[in-house]
Structure 1
């Protein structure tokens, strides 16, 4: 893990742990060790070996190396003068002044120095310091500095000093002297002494007198002490050479060495962080000691073996432990054992029970014994045979002891007055797993398949839970109100009011495999499960009892809290002592939880953003960080500095400007984003410690993703301007198009009005004018009655003609205005009108089937044809008129008469003052048709109109 051996540990105010090694400086956040490297332009320490560290109250980190002192603050490194010698100790006194102790110095300045601004002021013999070199340095409660050296321990303050030399110290050959100092709670001074690894010991200096520390567990004079530390609980930690760690607290001595999991038996130093965790440096690594919520008792604490089968807490507070090779007893926090040589009638202790008289019942191998008055009394069947391995026991309301043995089929034995009075064999296929007395009488059993059964008055009643066939009931308990609780492999089972309910993961359990459970004196439910110890507060448990579908808030103590989940083979598996402590048998060790001493971690974890990585490039973490254009992948590394249980730290983060809500990454310490749009962002992260205490302030990082040239505001404005211009140009073009279309429609309407005016002028108005002349002529010769009568007759004829001509004009406007009008029928009506004006033979034919025509085109065709028919009837003096329609590939209409014909000049340019022929040509041109007029004097006239089919026919028009 480390390039060099760790020598020193400290914590800075930002929460980071720092480790000084022979190869440099490391930073630790509880999960990752990161080698420290100086920033650009800064120099490494003259010596890479670091022997001492101090986290200053101002947030600085003081670093003592083999030749100089350095200060790291806000990323800036300051190196003090080289040649100071090896810095073995750095302390901050009550005035927040920094002091160092040094050895192997090249100057005569003295063994201790005070940092004064950018310089060091050293104190030596001239200042009253009685020793030339110093290893440890501490400050006592009175403000005196204590200095340890080969000569002894010295107390010094400017103007006053005292040297304390242990008895025989000067005559001890090869003595390296005082290696460590620690203040005592009573004002004394603990002194650690080493004699080149051969040991001198741990001594205490009380009011100027030396007192060796010797207890039955430890003769400290044999130790070579390397470092001392008194923690916040006033326990003294002793680091030794080759003997591991000793912890002295309230007269009790505990030892930890390599056999106990320590990384090495040689310990160089300690550090207690602000959460109370103790960090230990050895040449092989770093170890952490902390108070566990779940405490284990094993052979290391005095148990017989690593095979705990059952645990029973008595009414007197004793804890009996069924083990392999002995019956263990924990009484007054002292462990003892009853083994075969002390009278135990067997090797393997199985099930345990305390009856109401206080006697201890226990299974030993295949026997049942009663332990009373320090003696074992066997219980046998009436035939003298043994009971078999005792799996579980219960005492019913009547005081009878019921015993379940590991037999096939399963048998239940009732024992009264130490005699077997009843034997009950369970039905085939029904195997019991647990027993519990019923307050109303009889007892309850947990049976195979996750079901329950009640035995009372010789009758067994089975209640099916509906659980899977593989589920098993591991413990049964009956509450005073008759509610039955059972630990099963699928959760906590409850039988209440004739119904089964199960507390599972869907209700908030961290895991569903429940080995055992116990209710403490406050009504809190404690479950021993396959993932650890689960605590469900009394109010939560009661809420679930009343509303089984409710979700409970459960708290888990897992392996990080010391839990070692496993299930013991016999009963009881969980028990409660009168002092409130909970005991669980695990088949390996006994585990204990003390609900009254589960101190919460009240230290809010500092949160830091550590690194920004964009497209595999690392950027320094600074506010206003600017990332290059077109950045695709972003990784933000963050951390929270809680060392109590680092893997239980939970995070929440959000990227303001992108995320709409908090993200829940759990324990992950990286956030990932991709394809962020250019703009300003603020990354905000918060965290909670292992006990759910949140740091809501958290940490922030403001950064900007720069835009590419096509993402800039100028480009956007230009694009908007270009878009506006394009829209304006399109608008102008569209306006002109609409204006042209409207102009065309106006021109068409004007042309139509002009045609109508021509029609009215050439027909209706001329007839009316002629009628007026006839009327005037009749009025001039009013005495000639015959003349007047002829004039009036002529006037009647002309008025009739005017009526017909006006009707014809209206028909030309209205007849073909509907889409479904029949062109052939329209021409027939026009021919009928022609016969009313003149006696003429008409012929109409349409040799091809009619096709649907576009109404506008058809209307123009009709008007052209109607004009030709009207001209033939009025001017041709013909006796025969033929009209022929053809619906072939193109449409054509031919109108032929046998009249006097048309003057070629009139046929080509029209007659002055008349617009009929001109209007016909205009209409034909408008619909893309071809109008042909063929005529000769006295040979008749033929008018032919041809219109392309793609224009006139409706289907062809739609396909265009």
Structure 2
């Protein structure tokens, strides 16, 4: 292979990668402008008490962000929240204790066990890639850019090309005996070493050549600038690189691919070594500060006490993709995370600090109990000023540094120093009392102490409080913005604007006891209940999702870009300029913010005890924060930010005690309306800071905010197919590049199937119809029984009339007739008696007819015909028509009587009120009912007219409806103006016809 081929295969890809890496490295190393001490890392420990495994040997981080841990007994995964034992998939060969782990950038994880077995985990499947007859221990794994895999084993160096393994023997330049480590550098070169030397693969010849002779046990590691080092005990030696190579940085994934058992350089060049005795050694910027190609660990910080680590027996070290450094120990895990703020180690008994700057740009701090002022710098320890005891520092309106010393205020301004004696005591000498407050309003210099109270220096004299029109019980104060003005927070909850004796009062009780008054572009007051901003002459309380974030604020600073920085009870709060404006405009809405708290190195909570401003911005733009646990520094223009987007995936769906892995479409069993979906998004910086949003299409109308919970619970979900989606956002508001999706099929229970519901509907309909038939039968039976009773009563009356009254009348008539026969023929008396007898005879005939009608009921057809003909004769312009359908049947007596009366009433109404030219009557003796219709073509009526006539009883309509009700019939009246009126009467069969007729119809 010629030089051009080598450059094309290895160097050009490396250069392309270097361009991407350079941008990333520039961003991630901005915080590392100065060496970072171990105190500026936050250490977190996981032991068995936290669910962590013990005897952790090796670590690796795969591309999904998961941290893998090998122990003497099992393989574990850690997502930042919990530890999970990895279970081999069914059918996979069981591995022994894992002694080596290495992750590939494409997501593969290679694992070596203690008997030389080598395995590859990819997409949930495990593949055996062990060398034949493997009995040696794997001590290192490297991935060649050509796709092959190298393994440093106690039996030598081996290479796997995807099909077979090959061992490099000594005659091929390979290391004689075993290989201690193997490394693929950023140039695509393969390095290995053992006790005989350091070897480099010559790709042209396919053999190794020795670069260095070594005798001590060491391991190959790379620094961020791409240099290679042999890490041995207490010393690291640089590996000479070929002079023709273009310097390239170390591959970005190198540190997280596998942990190191000797040492590791982090992304900022700090060295973490396990080769200096028990525990850990840390050397900032080690590679940059090497001497003649060597790094000596003698000057390193050493954590060698049992309380400093989970165990002093540290097995390996790894840096993850988010910049955390992990130690695998015999007792668990330790994580070192670089703080977002840098601590300033200042001695002090209580930490009631005050802060100011001088005209040269130096920052000064004083602590009353130590009586020392310190000058702070970005590098190096604070420098104490012991010229005299100073217990308080401040600035005047000209920017001069004021130091409260023994009996005087020392003013330092542009290299000159003057002294202003404090107020004289009873002996006429300046009072030597400690001050707890100094404030210059441009006209009056104010001081306060427990002994002399509040005093002001004006016109060359100290004046007591009563010389000024000052409100009582002032808790906090601040410069008012122009000479002679102050903002004051008082004990009664009022906020007072002091303007050379003129007082303007505002209500500030909403924030509770004051912790600060904070003038600026907006007037802000802070207290133990929260933060309020003035708008339209009133203070409005701001709101946050975590109320404690805005409580106990004692400092506020405005950055050049308009961002607000607060120092409060939970730490440092950053509010973007746009978010601050939105909160001021709409204080009822939650304030959006970014919190830098104890997990980021902030020591405790904001200092409030001394009621002094707890944020100070130095001339170089650095911000200094005074906290209950000390002073920290932050560069607002370069706050470390976790730029790694969280990668979320759905883990499983749980129904009751059953768990279904998220593989393809998850099908839940019938009757599973309640379930929960578990998801993970590995984050090794702040797992509790990752926020999730999820949505179940068809159930959730919009994304649901799940906070930091890693489960979504659903209840009463109907059967069907649903798509579940989840997305994640890290603690610095960096959203994941993609959301995780999964299909969930909820099978219907028996009672939820369509055919079951259809069967239930049919059964219900059948039951309702049967009930209807039953109730109809009962109603018809009751009506028939009533009609039978009435007919029986009519027959009894008919018999009584026939057998008693009519017979008696007949007997009387016979006797009268006999008397008439005795009278002379042609006599007047006989003629009168014969006339009377004729009348009585006709009366008897009528009586017999009535008795007959009582027994059999009226003839409706005859009655209607007679009535119609009579009315037509009286109204010659109105034609009458009668149509009889079917064979006329005998009607039940009451039905016939009531139906006849209804029909006759309708005919009379048509002739008398409709103004019709035709009245047509249809009578149908149907098999199912008796149907009568009376229709005219008269003027008609509206619906309102019909309702009014029914309510008022006009034209006999109410009577017709009552008659219809009495025989169980239906009466319908329809009419339209100009279209005539139609009256229909429908009588069910069982109510219309006698039982004999019904029997005939049914037969």
Query: Normalising by the residue count of structure 1, what TM-score does the alignment of the two structures yield?
Result: 0.68
Q: Which residue of 2 aligns with 1:920?
A: none
2:104 to 56, 59, 84: 56
| Distance in 1 separating the partners of 2:702 and 2:637 | 38
| Distance in 1 separating the partners of 2:146 and 2:593 | 47
1:589 to 619, 626, 630: 630
| Distance in 2 separating the partners of 1:687 and 1:728 | 58
Q: CA deviation at 1:574?
A: 0.9
The answer to whether the Cα contact below 8 Å between 1:183 and 1:190 also exists between their aligned partners in 2 is yes
1:320 aligns with 2:364: yes
Q: Which residue of 1 aligns with 2:92?
A: 42
2:433 to 353, 363, 388: 388
Q: CA deviation at 1:163?
A: 1.9
Q: Could you say if the C-alpha distance between residues 17 and 804 of structure 1 is closer, same or farther in structure 2, counting changes exceeding 3 Å? A: same
1:23 to 73, 88, 98: 73
| Distance in 2 separating the partners of 1:281 and 1:760 | 122
1:645 aligns with 2:686: yes
- Stretches of structure 2 that go unaligned for 5 or more consecutive residues are 1-47, 245-259, 290-298, 857-893, 895-1003
Q: Could you say if the C-alpha distance between residues 539 and 683 of structure 1 is closer, same or farther in structure 2, counting changes exceeding 3 Å? A: closer
Residue by residue over 1:554-588, the C-alpha shift from the partner in whole angstroms, topping out at 9 and shown as x without a partner, is 33222223333231554342112344332111143
Q: Could you say if the C-alpha distance between residues 411 and 229 of structure 1 is closer, same or farther in structure 2, counting changes exceeding 3 Å? A: same
Q: CA deviation at 1:270?
A: 3.5
The answer to whether the Cα contact below 8 Å between 2:358 and 2:400 also exists between their aligned partners in 1 is no
Q: Which residue of 1 aligns with 2:148?
A: 97
1:241 aligns with 2:276: yes
Q: Could you say if the C-alpha distance between residues 691 and 34 of structure 1 is closer, same or farther in structure 2, counting changes exceeding 3 Å? A: same
Matches within 5 A, 1:9-408: 9-46=59-96, 48=97, 50-67=98-115, 68-79=117-128, 80-81=130-131, 83-103=134-154, 105=155, 110-117=156-163, 119-158=164-203, 159=205, 160-165=207-212, 169-170=214-215, 175-176=216-217, 178-182=218-222, 185=225, 188-194=227-233, 199-207=234-242, 227-232=262-267, 237-242=272-277, 243-248=280-285, 251=288, 255=301, 257=303, 261-263=308-310, 267-298=314-345, 307=351, 309-313=353-357, 317-323=361-367, 324=370, 326-331=372-377, 333-340=379-386, 343=387, 345-346=388-389, 349-353=391-395, 355-356=397-398, 358-364=399-405, 368-371=409-412, 378-381=419-422, 382=424, 383-386=428-431, 388-398=433-443, 400=444, 402-407=445-450
Residue by residue over 1:474-521, the C-alpha shift from the partner in whole angstroms, topping out at 9 and shown as x without a partner, is 3334347xx533332232344566433343559977332212211111
| Distance in 1 separating the partners of 2:322 and 2:808 | 120
Q: Which residue of 2 aligns with 1:461?
A: 503
Q: Could you say if the C-alpha distance between residues 757 and 727 of structure 1 is closer, same or farther in structure 2, counting changes exceeding 3 Å? A: same
Residue by residue over 1:681-716, the C-alpha shift from the partner in whole angstroms, topping out at 9 and shown as x without a partner, is 6655443221334456234363556747x7777766
Q: CA deviation at 1:592?
A: 2.6
2:486 to 443, 447, 450: 443
- Stretches of structure 1 that go unaligned for 5 or more consecutive residues are 210-224, 814-855, 857-960
Q: Could you say if the C-alpha distance between residues 250 and 367 of structure 1 is closer, same or farther in structure 2, counting changes exceeding 3 Å? A: farther
1:411 to 447, 450, 454: 454
2:477 to 434, 444, 449: 434
Q: Could you say if the C-alpha distance between residues 513 and 306 of structure 1 is closer, same or farther in structure 2, counting changes exceeding 3 Å? A: closer
- Report 1 or 2 for greater relative contact order, CA contacts < 8 Å, sequence distance ≥ 6: 2
Q: Kindly tell me the number of residue pairs found equivalent between the two proteins.
A: 759
RMSD of aligned residue pairs (Cα, Å): 4.6
| Distance in 2 separating the partners of 1:233 and 1:275 | 12
Residue by residue over 1:361-412, the C-alpha shift from the partner in whole angstroms, topping out at 9 and shown as x without a partner, is 12347753334577875432353323522223233334x5x23222256312
The answer to whether the Cα contact below 8 Å between 1:404 and 1:411 also exists between their aligned partners in 2 is yes
The answer to whether the Cα contact below 8 Å between 2:152 and 2:181 also exists between their aligned partners in 1 is yes
Deviates more, 1:636-645 or 1:662-671: 662-671
SS at match of 1:556: strand
Q: CA deviation at 1:765?
A: 12
Q: Could you say if the C-alpha distance between residues 492 and 45 of structure 1 is closer, same or farther in structure 2, counting changes exceeding 3 Å? A: same
Matches within 5 A, 1:868-879: none
Q: CA deviation at 1:625?
A: 4.9
Return the structure number with greater strand share.
Answer: 1
Q: Which residue of 2 aligns with 1:7?
A: 57
Q: Which residue of 2 aligns with 1:904?
A: none
The answer to whether the Cα contact below 8 Å between 1:229 and 1:237 also exists between their aligned partners in 2 is yes
Query: Normalising by the residue count of structure 2, what TM-score does the alignment of the two structures yield?
Result: 0.66
| Distance in 2 separating the partners of 1:289 and 1:88 | 26
The answer to whether the Cα contact below 8 Å between 1:182 and 1:189 also exists between their aligned partners in 2 is yes
Q: CA deviation at 1:766?
A: 12
The answer to whether the Cα contact below 8 Å between 1:433 and 1:448 also exists between their aligned partners in 2 is no
| Distance in 1 separating the partners of 2:768 and 2:535 | 76
SS at match of 1:413: strand
Rg larger in structure: 1
| Distance in 1 separating the partners of 2:463 and 2:171 | 95
Q: Could you say if the C-alpha distance between residues 202 and 752 of structure 1 is closer, same or farther in structure 2, counting changes exceeding 3 Å? A: farther
Q: CA deviation at 1:534?
A: 1.7
| Distance in 2 separating the partners of 1:157 and 1:764 | 147
Matches within 5 A, 1:547-566: 548-549=587-588, 551-564=590-603, 565-566=605-606
Deviates more, 1:579-588 or 1:732-741: 732-741
Q: CA deviation at 1:646?
A: 0.5
